[in-house]
Chain A
Amino acid sequence: MMAATALAMARVRNLFAVVVLGGLYSFLMATVLVVLDAVDVAMTEAAVGAGVSTVLLLGTLYLTHSEEARPRHRAILPLIVALVTGGLLVYGTLGLPEFGRADSVIHRHVAPRYLEQGPKETGVPNVVTAVLASYRGYDTLGEVTVIFTAGIGVLALLRRRRRDDDGGRR
C-alpha cells in the first residue's frame, strides 16, 4: 500500500493531491512503526509527518501554484541514479544480521546493561526514556540543538522586519 502511495505521488501532477498522499504515506509509515514496536517513533511520525508537515506544505502551496511544472529534461538519468543507489542500499542490507536476532552485535554491547541496570539506576521504568534522556543525554542535547538551529534558521530567513510586519500583512 505504501508503494502504491509513493507511485501515485510520483505520477500525480496536482500538488494538492501529492500533499494529501504524503500525509497518507506518513500514516502508513506510522502503522509500520507501531508493528515494529517503536511506538515513540510512530507517534512522532504521525504528528510531524502527517500533521504538521502537511499543513506546512499546504501553506507553501497557497503561496505558489498547485500544478507541477512539466519537467524540462528526460527522466532517464535520474531514474538510473536512483535505481543504482537503491540497488546498493539493498545490497548493503544483505550484510546486516537477520532481523530480530538476539545475538547480533548491537544487542551485546551496551544494550543489556541499559536493560538490566536502567530501571534500577534511573528509577524510570521506560527504557527508551532512560536511554534517551540520561545515558544518551549528550546526543539528545545535540538533537535539540539541531531542531533549535533549524528553527532559528527559518526565523532568520522568513521573518519580516517589524516595520513591514504591521503594514505589509493587510
Chain B
Amino acid sequence: MVLRVIAKLFIPFVMLFALYVQFHGDFGPGGGFQAGVIVAAAVIFYALTFGLQTTRRVVPERLVETMVAAGILLYAGVGVAGMARGGNFLDYFVLSKDPVAGQHLGIFLVELGVFITVSGVMLAVFYMFAGRGRGRHDEQ
C-alpha cells in the first residue's frame, strides 16, 4: 500500500526527469539513451508495484513493439531527408535554411529516435521476461 502511494507520487517525477534529460541534452548531460532507459525504468517500476496486467493496459505491447522500429526509422529517416534535400546521408545542415538551425533540428530528431527505440527495446525485453512467469508477478 505504502509502495503504491509512493510509486504514484514518484513516477510522474521520474517521467518528467526523463523528458528533462531528453530535451535538455543539448545543454547538460543526457540525451536519447539516458532518457529512454529512465522512462523504461519508470514503467518497469510501475509494473512491479501495480502488476503486469495493469501496465499492459497503460503501455500496450503493440505500442512498445511499434516503438522499437519507429525510433530507428525516424533516425534513418532524418538521414534520408538530408539526402533528399541535397546533402549527404545524416547531413543536418540542409534540413533548414539556417545551417545551425538545421543541425539543431537534426540532433533533436535523431535523439528522439534514439529515445523511442531504446525505451521500446527495454520495455519489450522486460515484457518478454516478465510475461513468461505464470502470472505471479501480477499479484505482487
Q: B140 CB to closest chain A CB, in angstroms?
A: 10
**Dominant SS among interface residues on chain B:** helix
Q: Are B133 and A59 in contact (CB under 8 A)?
A: yes
- Inter-chain contact A147/B118, CB cutoff 8 Å: yes
The size of the chain B interface, using a CB distance under 8 A, is 56
Q: Which residue in B75, B120, B126 is a CB contact (below 8 Å) of A55? A: B126
Q: Give chain B residues whose Cβ lies under 8 Å from the Cβ of A124.
A: 26-27, 103-104, 107
A151 to B110, CA, bound (A): 19
Distance between Cα atoms of A112 and B30 in the complex (Å)? 22
Q: Which applies to chain A's interface (DSSP): helix, strand, loop or mixed?
A: helix
In the complex, whether A97 has a CB less than 8 A from a CB of chain B is no
Q: How many angstroms from the CA of A132 to the CA of B34 in the assembled complex?
A: 13
Partner among A39, A40, A133, A158 whose Cβ is within 8 Å of the Cβ of B128: A158
> Are the C-beta atoms of A144 and B125 separated by less than 8 Å?
no
Which residues 44-86 in B have Cβ within 8 Å of A in the complex? Answer: 44, 48, 65, 68-69, 71-72, 75-76, 79
Least distance between A147 CB and chain B CB atoms (Å): 5
Is B97 among interface residues, defined by CB-CB distance under 8 A? no
Give 8 CB contacts A-B under 8 Å: A40-B29, A62-B137, A122-B107, A123-B104, A125-B26, A129-B111, A132-B31, A145-B72
